[in-house]
Homo-oligomer: A and B are copies of this chain.
């Protein structure tokens, strides 16, 4: 879905080079049908001619690709990715990708549906796209500059972060909300009369529908930050439990409302 949306977005923004898709026969067929890629190619053939290699599968498969790409790439190519955690991918790329440049990325855009059939040329419009260079100079190479120009043309809001800072922030803005939603929904197994609920419960359990297949790798590659985020969340909930009837709770409601408002003015 992300890879095909990137292809569609590039085309809509005026990119007229060739876009090759590397995936399962069914996935590339769907991507061709969506006009997101020109044609399918085996990894070795695609990478041998690519100026930009965009890795947008699960983190486990991105790590696999990074491990094997070095002998296959053109020396002036840029390899980038769309993985939801950055430290492990960027660290591995520094060790293995020596013949070409790697620049870690994370487009903060998603849908509940997967696959090219759900691709959307406007998916990145107005959404944050994080880049995590190991050092600032990595953003200034000709290929990195051209890549950033295309990201701007497809409407993405570029944010540059250190990999670890990225992983720390998303542990709170993405991974913790996912686990909070899953835990809440999991507890509902004991509730027989779910019609006795307000619309807020639907909001709070939307993320719980997410597939574990995608989350396994995210949790495994960011467990340190996620453990700390969960510990802070548990501590906050304990504090609220001990203060259900005191002014402390009013303060938490005020803090929460302030952050919810700030989020809405930001995104």
In the complex, whether A154 has a CB less than 8 A from a CB of chain B is no
Question: With A173-B201, A186-B259 in contact, is A196–B166 under 8 Å at CB?
Answer: yes
Name the distance in Å between A128's Cβ and chain B's nearest Cβ. Answer: 5
Which B-chain residue is minimally distant from A169 (CB atoms)? Answer: B196
Question: With A219-B249, A237-B179, A253-B210 in contact, is A259–B189 under 8 Å at CB?
Answer: yes
Name the distance in Å between A97's Cβ and chain B's nearest Cβ. Answer: 25
Which B-chain residue is minimally distant from A179 (CB atoms)? Answer: B240
Stretch at the interface among A22-30, A31-39, A135-143, A226-234: A226-234
Q: Is the interface of A mostly helix, strand, loop or mixed?
A: helix
Q: Which of A203-234 contact B (CB under 8 A)?
A: 203-212, 215-216, 219-220, 223, 226-227, 229-234
Q: How many residues of A contact B (CB 8 A)?
A: 87
* Contact in complex: B212, A198 (CB < 8 Å): no
In the complex, whether A117 has a CB less than 8 A from a CB of chain B is no
Return chain B residues, CB-CB under 8 Å to A261.
Answer: 209
Question: With A195-B267, A250-B216 in contact, is A183–B257 under 8 Å at CB?
Answer: no
Return chain B residues, CB-CB under 8 Å to A209.
Answer: 257, 260-261
* Contact in complex: A181, B204 (CB < 8 Å): yes
Question: With A219-B245, A226-B244, A231-B241 in contact, is A208–B257 under 8 Å at CB?
Answer: yes
> How does the 8 Å CB contact mask read for A137-166 relative to B, with 1 for contact and 0 for none?
000000000000000000001010100001
* Contact in complex: B241, A208 (CB < 8 Å): no
Q: Which 7 A-B pairs have the closest CB atoms?
A: A173-B197, A185-B256, A212-B253, A182-B256, A208-B256, A188-B259, A208-B260
Give 14 CB contacts A-B under 8 Å.
A108-B195, A169-B196, A172-B190, A173-B191, A173-B201, A184-B233, A185-B256, A194-B263, A202-B264, A215-B253, A223-B244, A227-B241, A230-B240, A234-B241
| Additional A-B contact list (16), CB under 8 Å, known A180-B184, A203-B207, A233-B237 | A128-B197, A172-B188, A172-B191, A174-B200, A176-B184, A177-B184, A178-B200, A180-B180, A186-B236, A186-B255, A188-B262, A194-B262, A202-B264, A203-B206, A219-B249, A234-B237
